[in-house]
């Protein structure tokens, strides 16, 4: 019997959870970008993990779900620890990048993460792509490259832009590794238990470097955005973890690839309502073409992979 995790096949539930994840991640960089005006990246990340740990821990305690760790062997415990380290790296590297790039640029580059997860799902878990899905993946890659070319042309000379982009790329690489580890850990633990362990580990690792006193200096607006970012962590990663339980990693990654487009819409709306808080996103014709190709490729990868004779499931 195979020890690799297999999706439950409830693809509609997996799709819904993935869309929720995409919406959360599309709005997150906007909140982070503004919050970083008054709070250091390490402290912000520590607070998000601490809130998430209390939230998930309290929920599991009420449901009697804390006993699942009793039978965890050394191998899976090591995988869990490594997943936690990788997710900490993802959070910190991404914040360092967001400081010097726009929300849309950061979300564009972080799409290397779900692309890496898609390829990892094929290589590690034996997930299969049809020919049409490979074409969709190609369109997705071309679209992302065109979008990035457009954004790079307009912001290449901004201070710290290249360094910020490299931080986001580093965040994408470590996230792909984390996601594949979490998917395999579902063989032994439920997604809430996995997330709780990762959140607690991350909180403890970052605590010596955080400055909790800085939270007392935040104004009301930045406190609200900080709380949103923390609660976003609970919603996004909870939905993401459950999506992996019900849908293939390659399908999940395809939908998550549309996050930059959602981020553009959200950033445009924020700038229209609150222009002093966020600079406008500037997207030229090449960027728009790239965005449309990315959406088309994502749709092809996610919607053309289900066999026509597969049973409908909810």
Which pLDDT score is estimated for 309? 33
Q: By C-alpha distance, which of 207, 169, 226 is closest to 36?
A: 226
The maximal CA–CA distance of the chain, rounded, in angstroms, is 59
Q: How many CB atoms lie within 10 A of CB 237?
A: 22
**HSE value, Cβ hemisphere, 13 Å, CA-based, for 138:** 7
Rounded to two decimals, what is the model's pTM? 0.76
Which pLDDT score is estimated for 183? 79
Which pLDDT score is estimated for 105? 78
DSSP of 90-108:
HHHHHHHHHTTS-HHHHHH
Q: Mention every residue, 6+ apart, whose C-beta is less than 8 A from residue 131.
A: none
Q: Mention every residue, 6+ apart, whose C-beta is less than 8 A from residue 19.
A: 255
Which pLDDT score is estimated for 6? 63
Both tokens of 170, joined, read 């580093």
Q: How many CB atoms lie within 10 A of CB 130?
A: 14
Which pLDDT score is estimated for 47? 95
Is 137 in contact with 305 (CB distance < 8 Å)?
A: no
DSSP of 198-246:
HHHHHHHHHGGG--GGGGGG--HHHHHHHHHHHHHHHHHHHHHHHHHHH
Which pLDDT score is estimated for 306? 47
Q: Which helix (H) or strand (E) holds 21?
A: helix 11-35
CA angle 149, 151, 156 (to 5 degrees): 90
Q: By C-alpha distance, which of 288, 245, 196 is closest to 13?
A: 245
Which pLDDT score is estimated for 228? 93
Is 114 in contact with 294 (CB distance < 8 Å)?
A: no
Q: Mark the ranges of the chain whose per-residue pLDDT is less than 70.
A: 1-9, 65, 67-71, 114, 125-127, 129, 154-159, 250, 298-299, 301-314
Which pLDDT score is estimated for 93? 93
Q: By C-alpha distance, which of 153, 148, 157 is closest to 106?
A: 148
Q: Mention every residue, 6+ apart, whose C-beta is less than 8 A from residue 134.
A: none
Is 178 in contact with 120 (CB distance < 8 Å)?
A: no
């Amino acid at each position: 019997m195979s020890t690799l995790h297999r999706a439950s096949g409830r693809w509609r539930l997996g799709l819904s959870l993935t869309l929720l994840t995409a919406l959360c991640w599309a709005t997150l960089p906007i909140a982070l970008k503004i919050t970083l005006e008054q709070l250091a990246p390490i402290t912000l990340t520590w607070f998000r993990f601490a809130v998430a740990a209390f939230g998930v821990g309290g929920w599991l305690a009420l449901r009697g779900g804390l006993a699942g760790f009793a039978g965890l062997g050394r191998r899976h415990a090591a995988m869990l620890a490594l997943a936690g380290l990788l997710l900490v790296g993802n959070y910190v590297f991404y914040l360092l990048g967001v400081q010097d790039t726009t929300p849309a640029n950061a979300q564009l580059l972080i799409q290397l993460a779900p692309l890496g997860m898609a390829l990892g799902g094929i290589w590690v878990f034996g997930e299969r792509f049809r020919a049409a899905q490979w074409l969709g993946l190609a369109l997705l890659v071309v679209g992302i490259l065109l979008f990035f070319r457009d954004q790079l042309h307009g912001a290449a000379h901004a201070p710290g832009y290249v360094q910020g982009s490299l931080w986001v790329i580093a965040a994408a690489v470590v996230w792909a590794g984390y996601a594949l580890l979490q998917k395999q850990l579902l063989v032994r633990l439920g997604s809430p238990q996995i997330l709780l362990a990762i959140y607690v580990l991350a909180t403890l690792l970052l605590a010596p470097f955080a400055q909790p006193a800085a939270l007392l200096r935040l104004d009301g607006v930045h406190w609200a955005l900080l709380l949103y970012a923390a609660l976003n962590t609970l919603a996004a990663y909870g939905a993401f973890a459950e999506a992996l339980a019900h849908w293939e990693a390659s399908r999940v990654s395809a939908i998550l690839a549309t996050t930059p487009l959602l981020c553009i819409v959200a950033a445009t709306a924020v700038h229209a309502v609150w222009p002093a808080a966020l600079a406008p996103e500037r997207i030229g014709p090449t960027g728009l073409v790239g965005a449309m190709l990315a959406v088309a490729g994502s749709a092809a990868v996610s919607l053309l992979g289900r066999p026509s004779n597969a049973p409908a499931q909810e």
